[in-house]
Amino acid sequence: MPGRLPVIVSPPSPTGGRRVWADGESLGLAYGLSDVAEFLRRAGLEGMDAGDVATSELIEWRGGGSDVWSLPEA
């Protein structure tokens, strides 16, 4: 992932997990910060661990921050 491509983490899905997107392409369904870090590593962004993912300005968190991984209970 050369340069700084937009990374979006979608809101939690009803079945759990959050879809991760980079430059308009789905990288996968993450169930935690380490999953997001792994997807970014596979996309070419080396050297980011779970802590980096949680605080990175490269990532736009939608539907909750980096600590939200499930929908609120009704």
Q: Write the pLDDT tens digit of every residue in 8-60.
A: 999 999 988 999 999 889 999 999 999 999 999 998 888 889 999 999 998 99
Say if residues 53 and 40 touch (Cβ distance below 8 Å): yes
Cα separation, 52 vs 25, in Å, equals 21
> Phi and psi for 14 in degrees, rounded to 5?
-60, -25
Amino acid (1-letter code) at residue 32? G
Instruction: Record the tokens describing residue 50, joined without a space.
Output: 């779970």
Quote the pTM value. 0.88
Cα separation, 46 vs 12, in Å, equals 25
User: Would you list the domain boundaries of the chain?
Assistant: 7-61
